Chain A
Amino acid sequence: DQQVKQNSPSLSVQEGRISILNCDYTNSMFDYFLWYKKYPAEGPTFLISISSIKDKNEDGRFTVFLNKSAKHLSLHIVPSQPGDSAVYFCAASGPFNTDKLIFGTGTRLQVFP
Chain B
Amino acid sequence: DAKTTQPPSMDCAEGRAANLPCNHSTISGNEYVYWYRQIHSQGPQYIIHGLKNNETNEMASLIITEDRKSSTLILPHATLRDTAVYYCIVQGNTGNQFYFGTGTSLTVIP
A joins B in a complex:
no
Interfacial residues, chain A to chain B (CB-CB below 8 A): none
Interfacial residues, chain B to chain A (CB-CB below 8 A): none
